[in-house]
Amino acid sequence: MSIVNETRALELIRQGEVVALPTETVYGLAGRIDSNDTLKKIFAVKQRPFFDPLIVHVHAVEQARALCREWPALWDVLARRFWPGPLTLISPKADSISSIITSGLETVAIRCPNHPVALKILREFGTPLAAPSANRFGRVSPTSAQHVEAEFNGEVAVVDGGPCLVGVESTVLATEYTDGVWRVKILRPGGVSRVHLRKALEEEGLKFQLLREESVASPGHLKAHYQPTSPVVLLNGLSWNDTLQKQTESRLGRKLNGAVELHLPATAQEAARVLYEEFRRLSTDPNRIIYIVRKPAHSGEDWEAVWDRVERASTTTF
Ligand code: TXA
Ligand code: MG
Peptide bond into 84 cis (omega under 30): yes
pLDDT given at position 226 = 80
The backbone torsions φ and ψ at residue 176, rounded to the nearest 5 degrees and listed phi first, read -150, 140
- φ, ψ at 14 (rounded to 5°): -60, -40
**pLDDT for the residue 220:** 53
pLDDT for position 218: 55
For ligand 1, atom 7, name the residue with the nearest CA: 28
Please state, as a whole number, how many other Cβ atoms lie within 10 Å of the Cβ of residue 60: 15
Flag residues of the chain having pLDDT under 70.
1, 215-224
Residue 221's pLDDT is: 60
* Among protein residues, the one whose CA lies closest to atom 17 of ligand 1: 220
Q: How far apart are CA 219 and CA 214, in angstroms?
A: 9
Q: What pLDDT does 222 receive?
A: 62
Q: Which residue type is seen at 238? A: L
Q: Which atom of ligand 1 is nearest to the CA of 221?
A: 19
Burial of 97 by CB count in 10 Å (0-12 exposed, 13-18 middle, 19+ buried)? buried
Q: What is the pLDDT of residues 184-202, one digit of tens each?
A: 999 999 999 999 999 999 9
Say what the pLDDT of residue 242 is: 93
Question: Which residues are near ligand 1 (CB < 6 Å)?
Answer: 23, 25-26, 28, 52-55, 86, 88, 90, 102, 105, 107-109, 111, 113, 131-133, 169-170, 172, 187-188, 217-221
pLDDT at 113: 98
Dist CA 139 CA 312 (whole Å): 10
Atom of ligand 1 nearest to the CA of 107: 29
pLDDT digits (tens, 9 = 90+) for 202-214: 999 999 999 998 7
Which tens digits make up the pLDDT trace of 1-44? Answer: 599 999 999 999 999 999 999 999 999 999 999 999 999 999 99
Ligand 1 atom nearest to CA at 25: 1
Q: How far apart are CA 264 and CA 226, in angstroms?
A: 17
Ligand 2 midpoint to CA 181 (Å): 31
What's this model's pTM, rounded to 2 decimal places? 0.96
Question: Which residues pair with residue 172 across a beta bridge?
Answer: 88, 188
